[in-house]
């Protein structure tokens, strides 16, 4: 882990700030507070209200453990309750969030017809022995079999 990551202060703000989003009386961050954590370019592209609604929709789960997967001074990759979240900040101080994306992680599939056993992942290796192909005919033989 790097000695200093500019991502962590923003992540540490997001989690407690939105943890109570489903509770009565919770107020979303105003524009001024949002601009303390998100770059102007990011807020130009992303509607802040939509962003906060997405984060707040997961509020009940924000108290659960956040796993740090990768951390550099300007980026962070985290796993949180079945999601992977990537955060990037600007290189220049005050290192505001310039990118934020999250996506649901896949899970293993179970099939009730298998009695609760998990379906094994698809094989990505080829058979060790290749099937025997018929011998190629010589060009002179191949030409004879074609119609004139």
The lowest-confidence range among 71-80, 98-107, 137-146 is: 137-146
Average pLDDT over all residues of the chain: 79
Enumerate the domain spans of the chain.
8-104
Q: The sheet that has 75-80: what strands, in order across it?
A: 67-71, 75-80, 83-89, 97-104
CB 75 within 8 A of CB 86: yes
CA atoms lying within 13 Å on the CB side of residue 25? 0
Read off the pLDDT of residues 107-144 as tens digits, 9 standing for 90 and up.
Answer: 666 666 666 666 555 544 444 444 555 666 555 555 55
103 by Cβ neighbours in 10 Å (0-12 / 13-18 / 19+) ranks as exposed
Read off the pLDDT of residues 2-16 as tens digits, 9 standing for 90 and up.
Answer: 668 999 999 999 888
CB 63 within 8 A of CB 79: no
Yes or no: domain 8-104 corresponds to CATH 3.10.450: yes
Tokens coding 30? 């105003």
User: 36 phi and psi, to 5 degrees?
Assistant: -80, -15
Give CA–CA dist 37/72, Å, rounded: 18
């Amino acid at each position: 882990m790097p000695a200093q990551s500019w991502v962590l202060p923003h992540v540490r703000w997001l989690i407690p700030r939105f943890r109570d989003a489903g509770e009565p009386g919770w107020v979303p961050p105003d524009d001024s507070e949002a601009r303390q954590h998100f770059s102007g370019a990011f807020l130009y592209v992303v509607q802040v209200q939509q962003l906060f609604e997405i984060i707040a929709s997961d509020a009940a789960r924000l108290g659960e453990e956040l796993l740090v997967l990768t951390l550099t001074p300007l980026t962070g990759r985290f796993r949180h309750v079945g999601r992977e979240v990537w955060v990037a900040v600007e290189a220049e101080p005050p290192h505001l969030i310039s990118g934020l994306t999250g996506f649901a992680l896949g899970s293993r599939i179970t099939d009730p017809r298998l009695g609760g056993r998990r379906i094994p992942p698809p094989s990505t290796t080829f058979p060790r022995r290749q099937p025997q192909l018929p011998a190629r005919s010589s060009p002179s033989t191949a030409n004879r079999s074609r119609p004139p």
